[in-house]
């Protein structure tokens, strides 16, 4: 008998410990299920209702941003996706691969800017007018090295320019020629820096450090589209990404600097602007501008891509790169890791052939891919960047639409950024107040 007592006590302790572990696991599982249930309840409420903080009431999400004040203080109409258009050419532009600065007069005549009397203040002023605040630089380019179309008209700064004016055009006067024999070439940011590299359908896994402008545009923390960072405050995406979804800004976030798909670290937006001419049926003018709530700090995994200059010449067949987390096959699931694919530019006349896309293609669109199929952007890549490597990476397209994904004879169609530069620069220049109220 004395020998069996210790064994009995040990068995009892083991049973109590086992019961304690089971109870703890049950409690933890119950808490996890409650937390998960609470998450989905909150998510359901957010998808269906908007909370009016001022009047402590809920209104249907469909009533938010509908032009009518449903909250007592109208807060449901204060922060909404805007639709803005511009009817005139932006008066300042950078032309060709050499980024020659040109300005237009009241008659819409373009003139190259001579180098005489130019200084760093003017460089900063023009870059600020173009919507950039980071690392502006200028250099002098000999007139003799320019193509003839950039030498037809010139303007130069007055001897004593009025530096109080933020509009550089007011300090310029027409000239027959540049006495300095040089014109100004301008670079407004350290965009599109090249990083050496020792799925998008048919693509390959990559890292965000190689494409640090890549953005994930998320609706209630779910990835719906890609985007491209073009400055420390602005992201470009597609207009159709916001169709049929909540127009209230609080539903949207942008995630930057991530290779693997995540909702962590999302940045809220103080303005989402859809092109005023956007056609949701024909996909024309399929572009949007997203202004982040704060400036991001450029680094190895977050860095803007360059906007293309006016008159950028890319030949048919030249290689472009598209990146995103889109589906790896038509109607498949999103990729968990960033993918990239190299696709050649397809000439507009070829892509607008009746056997491909015909009259559905507009001048605001370009095609890239293989007519034999096999490599393409797909669902979830929409709004993402199509880039071209000149001296730096330049954003030439935004993933827009196509018939299926990677089908034979149906390449990807992209919004042609070079055709929309006037609108992009106008949106970057306009004040935040105007952007939010003007929708």
* Two tokens, residue 16: 């109590």
Calpha distance 435→318 (Å, rounded): 37
Q: Which residue has the tokens 């190299």?
A: 342
Catalytic residue check, 277: no
Contact (Cβ atoms closer than 8 angstroms) between residue 430 and residue 418: no
Largest CA distance in the chain: 119
Per-residue burial over 136-172, b = 16 or more CB atoms within 10 Å of its CB, e = otherwise: bebebbebeebeeebeeebbbbeeebeeeeeebbebb
Residues near 348 by Cβ (< 8 Å), separated by ≥ 6?
361, 363, 366, 367
Element holding 437 (H helix, E strand): helix 432-437
Q: Which of 352, 377, 382, 418 is catalytic?
A: 382
Phi, psi of 352 (to 5 degrees): -85, 5
Minimal CA–CA distance to 174: which of 149, 151, 156, 150?
A: 156
Catalytic residue check, 223: no
Residue 202 to residues 322, 380, 408: CA-CA distances in angstroms? 11, 15, 13
DSSP 116: T
Q: Which of 70, 76, 286, 376 is catalytic?
A: 286
Q: Which of 240, 275, 283, 303 is catalytic?
A: 240
Catalytic residue check, 240: yes
Q: Which residue has the tokens 């380019």?
A: 141
Phi, psi of 56 (to 5 degrees): 55, 55
Residues annotated as catalytic are: 240, 286, 382
């Amino acid at each position: 008998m004395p020998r069996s007592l210790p064994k009995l006590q040990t068995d009892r302790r083991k049973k109590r410990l086992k019961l304690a572990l089971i109870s703890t696991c049950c409690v933890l599982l119950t808490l996890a299920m409650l937390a998960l249930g609470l998450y989905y309840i909150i998510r359901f409420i957010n998808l269906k209702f908007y909370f009016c903080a001022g009047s402590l009431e809920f209104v249907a999400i469909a009533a938010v941003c509908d032009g009518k004040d449903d909250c007592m203080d109208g807060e449901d109409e204060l922060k909404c996706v805007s639709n803005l258009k511009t009817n005139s050419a932006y008066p300042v532009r950078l032309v060709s691969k050499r980024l020659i600065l040109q300005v237009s007069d009241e008659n819409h005549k373009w003139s190259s800017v001579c180098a005489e009397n130019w200084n760093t203040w003017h460089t900063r002023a023009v870059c600020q007018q173009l919507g950039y605040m980071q690392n502006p630089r200028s250099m002098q380019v000999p007139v003799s090295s320019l193509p003839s179309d950039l030498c037809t008209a010139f303007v130069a700064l007055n001897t004593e320019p009025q530096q109080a004016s933020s509009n550089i055009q007011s300090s310029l006067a027409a000239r027959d020629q540049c006495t300095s024999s040089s014109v100004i070439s301008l670079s407004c940011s350290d965009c599109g820096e090249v990083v050496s590299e020792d799925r998008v359908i048919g693509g390959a896994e990559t890292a965000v450090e190689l494409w640090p402008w890549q953005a994930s545009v998320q609706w209630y923390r779910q990835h719906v589209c890609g985007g491209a960072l073009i400055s420390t405050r602005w992201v470009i995406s597609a207009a159709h990404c916001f169709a049929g979804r909540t127009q209230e800004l609080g539903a949207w976030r942008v995630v930057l600097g991530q290779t693997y798909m995540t909702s962590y670290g999302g940045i809220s937006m103080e303005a989402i602007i859809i092109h005023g001419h956007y056609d949701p049926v024909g996909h024309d003018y399929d572009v949007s501008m997203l202004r982040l709530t704060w400036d991001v700090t450029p680094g190895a995994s977050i860095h803007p891509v360059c906007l293309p200059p006016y008159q950028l010449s890319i030949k048919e067949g030249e290689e472009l790169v598209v990146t995103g987390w889109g589906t790896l096959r038509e109607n498949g699931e999103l990729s968990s890791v960033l993918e990239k694919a190299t696709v050649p530019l397809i000439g507009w006349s070829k892509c607008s052939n009746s056997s491909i896309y015909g009259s559905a293609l507009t001048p605001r669109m370009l095609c890239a891919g293989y007519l034999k199929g096999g490599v393409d952007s797909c669902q979830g890549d929409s709004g993402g960047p199509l880039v071209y490597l000149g001296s730096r990476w330049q954003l030439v397209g935004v993933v827009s639409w196509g018939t299926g994904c990677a089908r034979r004879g149906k390449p990807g169609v992209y919004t042609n950024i070079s055709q929309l530069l006037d609108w992009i620069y106008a949106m970057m220049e306009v004040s935040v107040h105007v952007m939010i109220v003007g929708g």
